[in-house]
């Protein structure tokens, strides 16, 4: 039950924060990511771009593989365009998706990256999201001290801007952390704060999870009637937003409560409702827990019913296994796509850097060439030949670097990145351009000597003319 509540609360992190709309279809497909990217790129306002990008990242509970795919695209878009908003969103959602897949190491890796970029951005909205996700990661790792520390930091950052779904969830998550620590009084305080903040701000997307949290807290405090009341409120809220998944989760919480209290008739009633609420839906796998409960009840009492729920349990369990197997296969494909896209991005960055270096080298070569030509063809200056020799050496180095930059990608392909072959190729290039350089230097020195001689003769003529006058 706690796992289900945790899953529900986490959904709030990935919901599109539009406070004017109370109805959310959690199984609804997000906007087409390819058509969304130009809109994200065109939006200059960080806040508007944040929520625009978030609209593609609201499906982690229903389709974490697709959410991961979209998160990778958003992240790469952010990296390519130096958009810290998209980078943080991508890292945060990948962090949560890896929690869903049970990969805590990957989750922590992306959580740390999200936190680093968010701190660099100095954007409180991004800092809230990143630190809250890192807190969830440490919660799954059982490191409550760090979970509390990071979530407190998320609360502090979230208090500095207008309330949104992330800042509300950060308050509620503090209740989850304290409940997991066995500090029910603190858990109750923060869950109550989250509820009041949600009502005040009209951000009521996930009241179902808030009511479930209240139910768990009061159940731990032995306040049975209050626990049941909150779980019933969770059922009503889940029906209001039209979420069969949340309806089933709430009914299952009630069924588990009655089963623990040895009230088997009530447990059977609510377990059956939990199963029926997701019949013929994409959430059929939620039948695992209630079907197992009913199987345990009927095992020694009613063979026909036991067989019925055994089949439901088996089918749901098989379906869950198949889905997880498929998701793992899809996950591998998404990670491979992300790896290829990352390599492509690196290649694009390297190509861009190479173009910039070529431009700078060409400019430097142009300046040196201009200086040499100016010196060579100037009729008013007498210049030491060593200056030309020095400039010619500099120009040789620049020409060599320019050619190296120009042909480097081709050399890498031909030599397959072999250091020895690349060195031999560059030596060959040097062997070709050095003779030309020597001829050019010889011509330049000869030209300069002739130019200096002419300049001296002209200066001498002017001096003689002045003396004759």
Residue 417 lies in a domain: yes
pLDDT tens string, the chain, 469 residues long: the values are: 444 444 443 444 444 333 333 233 444 567 888 888 999 999 988 888 988 888 888 766 556 677 788 888 899 899 888 999 999 999 998 888 888 667 788 889 899 999 999 999 999 999 999 999 999 999 999 999 999 999 999 999 999 988 888 888 899 899 999 999 999 999 999 999 999 999 998 888 778 889 999 999 999 999 999 999 999 999 998 888 777 878 888 999 999 999 989 898 898 899 889 888 877 765 666 777 888 888 777 776 655 555 565 656 555 555 545 545 545 555 565 566 666 666 676 777 777 776 766 676 666 667 666 556 656 555 555 556 676 667 666 666 666 666 766 676 777 777 776 777 777 777 777 777 777 767 766 676 676 667 667 766 776 777 777 776 6
Residue 129 lies in a domain: yes
pLDDT of amino acid 9: 39
Residue 20 lies in a domain: yes
pLDDT of amino acid 22: 29
Cα–Cα distances (Å) from 105 to 96, 99, 341, in that order, read 12, 9, 22
The residue with tokens 């809109």 is: 39
CA contacts within 13 A on the Cβ side of 107: 20
C-alpha to C-alpha distance for 102 and 141, rounded to whole angstroms: 11
pLDDT of amino acid 177: 94
Domain that holds residue 415: 378-468
C-alpha to C-alpha distance for 369 and 379, rounded to whole angstroms: 17
Q: What is the CATH number of the domain that holds 106?
A: 1.25.40.10
Residue 21 lies in a domain: yes
Helices (H), 12-123: 33-42, 46-54, 64-80, 84-100, 104-121
Burial class of residue 294, CB neighbours in 10 A (0-12, 13-18, 19+): buried
pLDDT of amino acid 316: 53
C-alpha to C-alpha distance for 78 and 28, rounded to whole angstroms: 25
Name the percent of the chain in helix, strand, coil, to the closest 5. Answer: 80, 0, 20
Domain boundary among 144, 174, 204: 174
Domain boundary among 141, 174, 207: 174
Residue 416 lies in a domain: yes
Cα–Cα distances (Å) from 212 to 114, 179, 188, 371, in that order, read 29, 12, 12, 79
C-alpha to C-alpha distance for 387 and 373, rounded to whole angstroms: 12
pLDDT of amino acid 297: 78
C-alpha to C-alpha distance for 167 and 125, rounded to whole angstroms: 8
The dihedral sign for the CA sequence 173, 177, 178, 180: positive
Residue 58 lies in a domain: yes
pLDDT of amino acid 142: 92
The count of domains in the chain is 2
pLDDT of amino acid 190: 95
Could you tell me which residues come within 8 angstroms of residue 162 by beta carbon, excluding any fewer than 6 positions away? none
pLDDT of amino acid 118: 95
Domain boundary among 159, 174, 189: 174
Residue 398 lies in a domain: yes
Residue 193 lies in a domain: no
Two tokens, residue 20: 């004017």
Could you tell me which residues come within 8 angstroms of residue 168 by beta carbon, excluding any fewer than 6 positions away? 12, 194, 197, 198, 201, 203
């Amino acid at each position: 039950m706690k796992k289900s509540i945790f899953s529900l609360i986490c959904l709030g992190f990935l919901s599109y924060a539009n406070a004017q709309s109370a109805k959310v279809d959690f199984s609804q497909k997000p906007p087409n990511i390819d058509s969304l990217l130009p809109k994200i790129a065109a939006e200059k306002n960080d806040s508007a771009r944040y929520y625009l990008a978030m609209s593609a990242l609201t499906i982690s509970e229903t389709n974490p593989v697709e959410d991961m795919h979209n998160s990778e695209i958003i992240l790469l878009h952010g990296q390519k365009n130096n958009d810290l908003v998209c980078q943080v969103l991508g890292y945060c959602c990948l962090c949560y998706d890896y929690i869903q897949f049970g990969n805590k190491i990957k989750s922590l890796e992306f959580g740390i990256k999200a936190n680093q970029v968010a701190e660099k951005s100095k954007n409180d909205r991004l800092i809230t999201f990143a630190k809250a996700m890192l807190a969830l990661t440490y919660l799954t790792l059982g490191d409550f001290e760090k979970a509390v520390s990071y979530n407190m930091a998320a609360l502090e950052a979230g208090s500095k801007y207008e309330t949104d779904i992330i800042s509300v969830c950060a308050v509620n998550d503090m209740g989850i952390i304290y409940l997991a620590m066995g500090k029910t009084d603190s858990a109750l305080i923060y869950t109550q704060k989250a509820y009041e903040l949600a009502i005040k701000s009209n951000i009521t997307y996930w009241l179902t999870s808030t009511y479930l949290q209240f139910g768990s807290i009061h159940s731990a405090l032995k306040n049975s009637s209050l626990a049941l009341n909150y779980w019933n409120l969770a059922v009503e809220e889940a029906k209001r937003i039209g979420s069969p998944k949340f309806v089933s989760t709430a009914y299952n919480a009630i069924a588990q409560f009655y089963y623990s209290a040895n009230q088997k008739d009530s447990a059977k009633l609510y377990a059956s409702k939990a199963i029926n609420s997701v019949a013929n839906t994409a959430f059929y796998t939620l039948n695992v827990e209630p079907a197992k409960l009913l199987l345990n009840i009927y095992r020694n009492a009613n063979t026909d019913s036991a067989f019925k729920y055994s089949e439901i349990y088996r089918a749901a369990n098989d379906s869950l296994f198949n889905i997880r197997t498929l998701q793992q296969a899809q996950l591998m494909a998404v990670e491979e796509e992300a790896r290829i896209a990352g390599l492509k991005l690196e290649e694009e960055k390297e190509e861009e850097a190479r173009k910039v270096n070529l431009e700078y080298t060409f400019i430097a070569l142009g300046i040196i060439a201009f200086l040499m030509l100016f010196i060579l063809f100037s009729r008013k200056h007498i210049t030491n030949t060593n200056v030309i020799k020095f400039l010619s050496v500099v120009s040789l180095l620049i020409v060599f670097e320019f050619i190296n930059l120009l042909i480097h990608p081709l050399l890498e392909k031909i030599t397959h990145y072999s250091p020895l072959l690349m060195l031999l190729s560059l030596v060959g290039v040097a062997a070709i351009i050095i003779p030309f350089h020597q001829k050019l230097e010889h011509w330049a020195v000869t030209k300069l000597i002739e130019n200096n001689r002419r300049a001296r003769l002209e200066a001498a003529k002017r001096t003689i003319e002045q003396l004759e006058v």
